[in-house]
Amino acid sequence: ATSKYAAMWRRVRKYSAIGGLSYCVAHTVANYLGELVICTGPSMHPTIEDGDLVIAERLSIMNRTLRKGDIVGCLNPHDHTQLLCKRLAGLERDIVEPTEHLPHGRVPLGHCFLLGDNAPVSTDSRAFGPVPFGLVEVRLVLRVWPPSRAGWLSNHWFFEKEERKIP
């Protein structure tokens, strides 16, 4: 009977170690490399449709290689539990179309200006103003679902630097 329990405990320890290691790897990948994002809502139509599954990477954020035109996922400035997918339309010091929240049209230091591709239905920087770079979580790079629309959403790699550096 003792060997039966010993064998059972060896299996429990083995599978616990495998489960713990798997969790650590998944946590590290999601927090430092990237993740899968299911996009919902019409604000990025037609580029991203409701229900598209997209690979998002974090290395561009850490390496500060975001560019105007990139599609990013940022925390909603008014509800930090919600991730918004928007196009990066202006970096700090850029001149953008003036809005109620940005009457002079210049994006402040440490901020970016985000727009949805489907302007009539998008809640973006025109509604809530420039977004602090600290709220930008990921860059959306590759649509993987549906297969009929699979393809790249970005035209540069996370390590390619532009002449302008993000703070």
The answer to whether 33 touches 57, Cβ cutoff 8 Å, is: yes
For the question of residue 43 being annotated catalytic, the response is yes
For the question of residue 154 being annotated catalytic, the response is no
The answer to whether 139 touches 60, Cβ cutoff 8 Å, is: yes
d(CA 103, CA 12): 62
Catalytic pick among 3, 4, 14, 43: 43
The answer to whether 54 touches 48, Cβ cutoff 8 Å, is: yes
Catalytic pick among 60, 86, 122, 125: 86
3-class DSSP state for residue 97? coil
Q: Which residues are catalytic?
A: 43, 86
